Amino acid sequence: MTKGEQPGTVRAVATRGGGVVAVLAALIATYMISQFQRSAIGVLGPDLARELALDASRLGFLSSAFFLSFALAQIPVGIAIDRYGARNTLIVSAVIALAGTLLFAVAETGTGLIAARALIGLGCASFFMAPLAIYARRFPPERFAILTSLTLGAGTLGTLVATAPLAAVAAWIGWRGAFFGMAGLTALIIGAVMLSLPPRPRQAEARESWGEALKGVGEALQVRSFWPVFFLHATTYSAFACIVGLWAGPWLSDVQGADLQMRGNLILIAAAAQITGIFAWGAADRWFRSYRRQALTAGTICVGLLLIAGLVPLQGAALIAWLVFFGFAFGYVPIVTSHGKALFPDRLTGRGITLMNIATMGGVFVSQALTGLMVAQFAPDPGGGYPAQAYHAVFLALAAALALALAFYSRAIDPHPSRP
């Protein structure tokens, strides 16, 4: 537990700021911004590619730049959360995200878009970790999975906004106008965070030095079962984000012939199903009473769904059904997150969960960048679209990576609160 952010202090701050509900609403709203930003390219990708002449590899890097800067920021963010507090870290990050969103809205080149995406990723780097640090220090361990599921489920409304609603707004005022609107919303949420979480009282205790903080990172890396859980983090969310956040739009456009609005509607199905899955898998935590058993069950289902998409042509009702099951199955992300958090002692919570988030977001960067290079190996048609085989290769590669991670993860310890 960080100095100056004891449970009583957090509770007092929540009360002065208008209650726990106001605090939760502000924290979830910031996470919604991150979810929107990481998923927006999935719908807009084909249009950005045509307008700025981006091939598959460059489009892949445009989307993955967000995740690269996000991942690189995690260790500094973890230290900042433990050393300066979640509130201050969150506000500074949000200002950076606001600047990146404005730059994205005015960028005229692919390079400019990539730079803006990287800045947005840097800004969003604390939008989930800071709330998790607050939950970990405010509530009993057995409630962490439920609060994580609540934040992920409600925050994933940002992913919904990045589907059909974003497509509709982009068709109305253009994608630039849509990002100007998101910049304005980000500014409002910064104000909400500042009002609901007033500055904590100045503390007399000495803070850790940066050297001591970095030493704590080393300690976290040596925690038992760190690496098996780390690699599951690296492949679970990345498989979902690689499809919904990047390739779903091009796949539906090139293979299914879907226009902008139809792409938005179809991706909305998967995103909405994931929200349902997040709540369902979170509630099932009490029934499984095991992080490992639940994650292995859900992960195996996900591997099967990726194999189906890679081997079987999907059309009509079969495509819609696949999108529903795909989104729902990948709702088990909170269970993996909870398993990662449970590995660390309280004083390393901030650094521990941000190290796990390096795996999560770094995994998306790697998967999106590498699959972009993979798709680019296939010859595009005269209109710039890619054949179905290119997307089948993406699904199969993601299935193989997740299967390997699950095999490694099966050896991890299971520190579930309900276990003796």
User: The tokens of 358 are what?
Assistant: 């390096």
**Domain assignment present for 320:** yes
CB 337 within 8 A of CB 229: no
Report the alpha-carbon distance of residue 109 to residue 106 in Å, rounded: 9
**Domain assignment present for 210:** no
User: The tokens of 310 are what?
Assistant: 């890679």
CB 67 within 8 A of CB 38: yes
**Domain assignment present for 212:** no
Q: What are residue 84's phi and psi, to 5 degrees?
A: -110, -10
**Domain assignment present for 10:** no
CB 28 within 8 A of CB 154: yes
Query: From first to last of its 420 residues, what are the pLDDT tens digits of the chain?
Result: 444 344 444 444 443 434 567 778 888 899 999 999 988 888 888 888 888 888 888 888 898 999 999 999 988 887 787 778 888 888 999 999 999 999 999 998 889 999 999 999 999 999 987 887 777 666 667 767 677 777 877 887 888 898 889 989 998 999 899 999 999 999 998 888 888 777 765 454 446 666 776 777 788 888 889 999 999 999 999 999 999 989 998 999 999 888 888 999 999 999 899 989 988 998 888 888 899 999 999 999 999 999 999 999 998 999 999 999 999 999 998 899 889 988 988 777 767 877 888 899 899 999 999 999 999 999 988 878 899 999 999 999 999 999 999 999 999 999 987 765
159: amino acid identity, one letter: T
Domain that holds residue 65: 19-196+223-409
**Domain assignment present for 420:** no
**Domain assignment present for 417:** no
Quick one: pLDDT at residue 383?
A: 77
Rg (CA), the chain: 20
Helix 333-342, helix 291-311: angle, nearest 10 = 140
Q: What is the 3-state secondary structure (H, E, C) of the chain?
A: CCCCCCHHHHHHHHHHCCCHHHHHHHHHHHHHHHHHHHHHHHHHHHHHHHHHCCCHHHHHHHHHHHHHHHHHCHHHHHHHHHHHCHHHHHHHHHHHHHHHHHHHHHCCCHHHHHHHHHHHHHHHHHCCHHHHHHHHHHCCHHHHHHHHHHHHHHHCHHHHHCCHHHHHHHHHHHHHHHHHHHHHHHHHHHHHHHHHCCCCCCCCCCCCCHHHHHHHHHHHHCCCCHHHHHHHHHHHHHHHHHHHHHHHHHHHHHCCCCCHHHHHHHHHHHHHHHHHHHHHHHHHHHHHCCHHHHHHHHHHHHHHHHHHHHHCCCCHHHHHHHHHHHHHHHHHHHHHHHHHHHCCCHHHHHHHHHHHHHHHHHHHHHHHHHHHHHHHCCCCCCCCCCCHHHHHHHHHHHHHHHHHHHHHHCCCCCCCCCCC
**Domain assignment present for 123:** yes
Please count the structural domains in the chain.
Answer: 1
Quick one: pLDDT at residue 419?
A: 65
Task: Check which CATH number belongs to the domain holding 365 and give it.
Answer: 1.20.1250.20
**Domain assignment present for 7:** no
Report the alpha-carbon distance of residue 17 to residue 12 in Å, rounded: 9
